Amino acid sequence: AQTVTQSQPEMSVQEAETVTLSCTYDTSENNYYLFWYKQPPSRQMILVIRQEAYKQQNATENRFSVNFQKAAKSFSLKISDSQLGDTAMYFCAFMKGSTSGTYKYIFGTGTRLKVLA
Amino acid sequence: ETGVTQSPTHLIKTRGQQVTLRCSSQSGHNTVSWYQQALGQGPQFIFQYYREEENGRGNFPPRFSGLQFPNYSSELNVNALELDDSALYLCASSWGLRGGYEQYFGPGTRLTVT
């Protein structure tokens, strides 16, 4: 069974600074996908960034980038130039990539990020 | 393009009662997944429907049941409510069954069981 662990329950960062959120996972699958989702206080989950396990290149979306270490099963999220709107709960999620079965997210417990003015 | 919608937004029920939560998929999506998010926790997978058939279930008892309709909207039914069922229930829609396909979440229904 796959597991996702986020070891930082809460973090804070000054506006315009950089912060890194950690995520580790455990799986025996070779083909899978990893995601970071943002859940603002309004509740709606929004995809931040996605990484395919078969790609060595780390995904980047504007101010958001990941450090994907497949051998270490580590998938951290770096937020550069933090903005007040980045304040939210961040979830790391795993999804298998095989061609049969159930395609579900396995989420970590989340990291609450607060950006300080 | 219409996003995922859920109703109601909030619901208060008494222990032992039954509840039905509703979800409308994003336009063009034929797969719906339901998740339960307890306070301060990550979402936990309940079950998934693809083209009106259940396509997998998480570790939830049979009193959690669901339906998907021909228009791909979906319902989550919970019988014999327990206090621990108090949570945010999230619906997520996607297209097809393939690893890596992003699931688009609705705003959720906050269920409180007293």
- CB–CB contacts below 8 A, A to B: 71
pLDDT band at A42 (very low <50, low <70, confident <90, very high): confident
pLDDT band at A99 (very low <50, low <70, confident <90, very high): low
Q: Chain B partners of A10 at a C-beta cutoff of 8 Å?
A: none
Tell which residue, A42, A61, A41, A39, has the closest CA to residue A51. A61
Tell which residue, A63, A67, A39, A40, has the closest CA to residue A51. A67
CA-derived radius of gyration, chain B: 13
Q: How far apart are the CA of A46 and the nearest CA of chain B, in angstroms?
A: 7
Using the structure block, give the residue that is written with the tokens 């919608």: B5
Render pLDDT for A14-29 as a digit per residue (tens, 0 to 9).
999 999 999 999 999 8
**First-to-final CA distance of chain A:** 41
pLDDT tens, N- to C-terminus, chain B (114 residues): 579 999 999 999 999 999 999 999 998 889 999 999 999 899 999 999 999 999 999 999 999 999 999 989 999 999 999 999 999 999 999 987 776 778 999 999 999 999
Residue of A nearest to B88 (CA): A43
Q: Chain A partners of B102 at a C-beta cutoff of 8 Å?
A: 35, 47, 50
Residue B94 and residue A103 in contact, taking contact as beta carbons nearer than 8 Å: yes
Q: Are β-strands A111-116 and A88-96 bridged in parallel, bridged antiparallel, or unpaired?
A: antiparallel
